[in-house]
Structure 1
Amino acid sequence: MAFWNDFFTTTSAEAETQFDRLKNKLFGRLDAQKPYRIIYYRGFGSPTAVWLTGRVLRQHDLSTPSDRDTFWQNLLATYQRFGSRDVPGVTVRIDAFGQQYTAITDNDGYFALTINPPENLPVGRAWFPVRYSLDGVVQLEPELADVGAIENSLVVKEGHLMISPPYSHFGVISDIDDTVLVTDATNLLQTARLTFLGNAYTRLPFAGIAAFYRALQSGPVTTLFNPIYFVSSSPWNLYDLLVDFFRIQGIPKGPILLRDLDLSSKLFSSQGHHTHKLGMIRKVLDVNPQLPFVLIGDSGQQDPEIYSQVVRENPGRILAVYIRDVSTDQRDEAVRELIRTAEAHNVPMLLVEDTVAAAEHAASLGLIDPDTIPEIRADRRADEES
């Protein structure tokens, strides 16, 4: 079995290399007409360390989604997301906290950098501006080209990064698929249909999730700011869709940590899913050593196993684990065994039917204001009716 796994992994890697070469040859000239785009992913950190990441692509601007978009418009947007061309070996200049840094994109166009923020950060602030630009890359502005003007401009992207304030009581790490967003991740065809043929307006949230996450962010005292991080095995190509979805649904803004899309066997394996999510969770915990965390996921895939491992690795740092029940009775029994393991480490792990059940337990632990429970119930009813 190990032989075939190694064979498949090697063959997939070689196929991906050959595919990239063929794509470069066939689409090189067409891609030259596409403008450079810096795709920044919300950075995050603490007063001691900040992690920044993003990607450089040749890609036309994606259209703004609408609740009136047709099947073909959604399909075109999906093609644009996955049909972009990565730009390797380019220098990205990053301006943050009055300092300038540089990073170089890898073979897939990604860049990543860890920096140390200044010691005198403003008290009471969580979001800070960051500016990305391509070093030495200029391009014709499309709107100027339309009127015949000849003028080049720098490729620039303005963004923000999040630093958990010193008064945060805890952080939240949440799965996305089948926890926040209805995906039916255990059904490959249904997941593909929802992902490729829908948009941010057609996707559905789990009932009451927006009000629950707002309550967690506010904590038991509404003047608090508890950071929320979203971790998923979905590809980075869907980042803009998720940002729009969270905004439309009123879900609190936070870093969204996705994964690269490649042809390796790990992409389709539970091992790859487990490794990616566990690695991202560890990174969040590492840059927030002062914070305990609440973990939220679902029973459909491997969230219970991953969170159980996080509990074992981080004694005293996990306040509670909430698992939305979206699976069969046989799977639920396996989850209950993991619940007993978490309880042995003095961590409550609950298998819950809906958001309200999790919120009521969170209120009993003093994680949220009990007065937010009626709002969460009302939000659940509104989502169910819509």
Structure 2
Amino acid sequence: MARPHAAALVEDAYTERKARLLERRGWVTRIVPSTGYGSATQIRVFGRVVMTRGLPEDEPTEPTYAARLRALETETRGWRAFFATPVADEPVTVRVNERLVQARTDRGGYLDLTVRGHGLTPGWHQVFLDSPRAEPIDVPVLVVGSQVTHGIISDIDDTVLSTSLPRPMIAAWNTFVRSEGARRPVPGMATMYRDLLESRPEAPVVYLSTGAWNTAPQLTRFLERNGYPVGPMLLTDWGPTNTGWFRSGQEHKRAQLHRLARELPNVRWLLVGDDGQHDPTLYSEFASRRPDRVRGIALRELTAGEQVLSHAIPVATDDIAPTPSARLEVPVLRGPDGYALGPRLAEVWDDVVGGQTLGEYASAVVTGGLEDPPDYTVEDPDER
């Protein structure tokens, strides 16, 4: 086994020393839950164990639910989330019905556990996480039935949440200082998702982002507050890894797309992102390799100003370096927001494109039978 990267060794030593110091000062451990998902055969459970302040002596032994919510809000807001002290190699027990599964957190305090043979029916369930030094906590898990054929994979930054990434100063302000209550949703995206789910309420919505796991609690609150469907978030861990200073966000997204395709083989996904970074390339690459797993691609178009602030030039990244691949077998739609994308996206969601089924459309693309393919670029309503 290769020796861990020097940066990871330094970070691990610092984290361990800090955890011991906080424990001597009376801090305890707490489990931070995150929504999981799964199929009829297996589920994926997420959580994290971090250090938290112990109760003052004059506080009741069992704090009220409201008090615990206020404490969680304070500890996970802005910069505090990035300075939480993880507890590595901490034993965690996962209880699914009457079954108990033992696991341990990784070097970042995270738990990403696959439980097979869970015996849960399709729909939402609660599993329980317990640790010797922390209070047990329940975690929501969505089990996707084998008959489900529709699903949405959605990016977060600049797709459902206006973050203006990767502008360093503004991104840092949005992430480290502002609370999620002060951040702006992208117009119409929540409405678009809710409208699509009206006809397919069983369809899962998975939020896939290169954002840090540290922000999961505040992102969850943001999505709930702005009317987005509930769903698992697949984020990443910022900072040093065993192979380098930082992990690759693109590789994270690429790996998660293929993992979802393997774990939920009957679902054809609607891939939703934006054209400010790598979503067009990653989504078209995935659709080229797995057209049987993709229903369509929807890209939110950033304005020229947003493009300049994102990567210094006023055009989308895929206009600069388009993906060198054959014509995609799936429709690609573009629009400035959810209000523009929604009406045309409904056709793709209902398996109909320009009067053809998706299968007929794909066949026509492959054989060159589309003499005049339909235009799926949605214009800005204000410019019509």
- TM-score, normalisation: structure 2: 0.76
| 2:43 pairs with 1:50 | yes
Q: Determine the structure 2 residue equivalent to 1:196.
A: 176
What secondary structure, in the 3-state scheme, does the structure 1 residue paired with 2:50 have?
A: strand
| Contact 1:176 1:232 survives alignment (8 Å) | yes
| 2:329 pairs with 1:346 | yes
Q: Determine the structure 2 residue equivalent to 1:283.
A: 259
Instruction: Sort the Cα spacing of 1:250 and 1:192 in 2 relative to 1 into closer, same or farther, 3 A.
Output: same
C-alpha separation between the residues in 1 aligned to 2:16 and 2:246?
Answer: 25
Q: Determine the structure 2 residue equivalent to 1:226.
A: 203
What secondary structure, in the 3-state scheme, does the structure 2 residue paired with 1:89 have?
A: coil
| 2:151 pairs with 1:171 | yes
Instruction: Sort the Cα spacing of 1:103 and 1:337 in 2 relative to 1 into closer, same or farther, 3 A.
Output: same
What secondary structure, in the 3-state scheme, does the structure 2 residue paired with 1:53 have?
A: strand
Decide which of 5, 12, 16 is 1:13's aligned counterpart: 5
Counterpart amino acid of residue 106 in structure 2 = D
| 2:257 pairs with 1:274 | no
Decide which of 311, 316, 319 is 1:331's aligned counterpart: 316
| Structure 1 outlier segments of 4+, above 6 Å | none
| 2:135 pairs with 1:155 | yes
Q: Provide structure 1 residue ranges, at least 5 long, that are not aligned to the other structure.
A: 1-9, 67-72, 139-153, 370-380, 382-386
Deviates more, 1:237-246 or 1:17-26: 17-26
Superposition pairs of residues 1-386 of structure 1, within 5 angstroms:
13-25=5-17, 28-32=20-24, 33-60=26-53, 63=70, 77-118=77-118, 121-122=120-121, 125-134=122-131, 137-138=132-133, 155-218=135-198, 221=199, 224-263=201-240, 272-326=248-302, 327=307, 328-331=313-316, 334=319, 337-338=322-323, 341=325, 344-367=327-350
| Contact 1:86 1:108 survives alignment (8 Å) | yes
Give how far 1:225 is off.
1.6
Instruction: Sort the Cα spacing of 1:359 and 1:77 in 2 relative to 1 into closer, same or farther, 3 A.
Output: closer
Counterpart amino acid of residue 123 in structure 2 = A
Deviates more, 1:180-189 or 1:48-57: 48-57
Q: Determine the structure 2 residue equivalent to 1:374.
A: none
Give how far 1:266 is off.
6.3
C-alpha separation between the residues in 1 aligned to 2:139 and 2:86?
Answer: 20
Q: Determine the structure 2 residue equivalent to 1:146.
A: none
Instruction: Sort the Cα spacing of 1:30 and 1:305 in 2 relative to 1 into closer, same or farther, 3 A.
Output: same
C-alpha separation between the residues in 1 aligned to 2:265 and 2:193?
Answer: 22
Instruction: Sort the Cα spacing of 1:367 and 1:63 in 2 relative to 1 into closer, same or farther, 3 A.
Output: farther
Give how far 1:197 is off.
1.1
Deviates more, 1:181-190 or 1:351-360: 351-360
What secondary structure, in the 3-state scheme, does the structure 2 residue paired with 1:316 have?
A: helix
C-alpha separation between the residues in 1 aligned to 2:196 and 2:212?
Answer: 26
Structure with greater proportional helix content: 1
Q: Provide structure 2 residue ranges, at least 5 long, that are not aligned to the other structure.
A: 54-67, 308-312, 353-380
| Contact 1:292 1:318 survives alignment (8 Å) | yes
Give how far 1:368 is off.
9.6
C-alpha separation between the residues in 2 aligned to 1:22 and 1:171?
Answer: 41
Kindly report the root-mean-square deviation, in angstroms, between the aligned alpha carbons of the 2 structures: 2.9
Tell me the matched-pair count: 326
Give how far 1:356 is off.
2.1
In percent, how many aligned pairs have the same letter? 25
Instruction: Sort the Cα spacing of 1:103 and 1:351 in 2 relative to 1 into closer, same or farther, 3 A.
Output: same
